[in-house]
Amino acid sequence: MPRSRARVCTWQTRTRSSATPATSAHASRGTDATATRSSPAGTNDFVPMSEDLSTEWVDHHRPGAPDLYPADRREEMDELMAAIYRDVNNGVYRCGFAGSQRAYEDAYDRLFSRLDELSQRLGTRRYLMGDHITDADIRLFTTLVRFDPVYHGHFKCNRRKLSEMPVLWAYARDLFQTPGFGDTVDFDHIKAHYYRVHRDINPTGIVPLGPDLADWMQPHGREALGGSPFGAGTAPGPLPSDEVVTDQLGTHRLG
């Protein structure tokens, strides 16, 4: 995921066996987000992590923080986010690490079928749940922003590039140009990680120079659908100086 500007805590793994009675609700999922000796909080349960931040850590939210997990939409959101995780977030990995042609083709078909459904949904609404950004948009963005630089080639998710899917491409640019999204994305880091770490897929470790990323800042036109990114909330402030990603849309040579 893009580096978060909401540095609520330092995350560390905490297993079920170390849970205390006071954390049994979290322990039932195999992890929890409670105090440890080495860190204020810890979890490795990455799927509901953002849900926990929206519900368990409200006291740590900044003034004006938007409601990313509205109570009256949670049932619909949970169903949608489960499908996004299964077929898109995890779907690209099922393509990339498939152990057989049949497994790859099944994951590929599910991935692009789901992207087609999401494209249709977003054709008439600015964000997945309507007029404002929610956790569902954040979860989808993390895969879309990596799609052309990594997943299209590296994981063989190559029916079309994101930039060749008009609705999803405009939607992704809309989010990218929203404070808290594009300003936390480091494309160099994303590409270097995948292409250098996955030596079973990319034995040479060569990191591609492309694609051209300048189009991320092109007008998206989705404001015509109405809505406002943060609803009753406000945009986040500037990034801390040590988190600013400079010249991220240029062609970088990693050496």
- Model confidence over 47-60: pLDDT tens digits? 778 888 899 899 99
pLDDT > 50? residue 153: yes
pTM above 0.85, yes or no: no
User: What are the residue boundaries of the structural domains of the chain, listed by start?
Assistant: 16-60, 72-229
Listed range (177-191, 201-215, 235-249) with the worst mean pLDDT:
235-249
Residue pair 180/132 in contact (Cβ under 8 Å)? The answer is: no
Tell me what pLDDT residue 49 has.
86
In this prediction, what percent of the chain has a pLDDT beyond 70? Answer: 79
| Residue 97, C-beta contacts closer than 8 angstroms, at least 6 positions apart | 201
Report the alpha-carbon angle 202-203-209, nearest 5: 50
Answer yes or no: CATH 1.20.1050.10 is held by domain 72-229.
yes
Residue-wise pLDDT for 184-202, tens only, equals: 899 999 999 999 999 999 9
| More confident call, 130 vs 32 | 130
**pLDDT (0 to 100) of residue 156:** 98
Distance CA 255, CA 90 (A): 31
Percent of the chain with pLDDT strictly greater than 90 = 70
Residue 12: pLDDT over 90: no
Mean pLDDT for the chain?
84
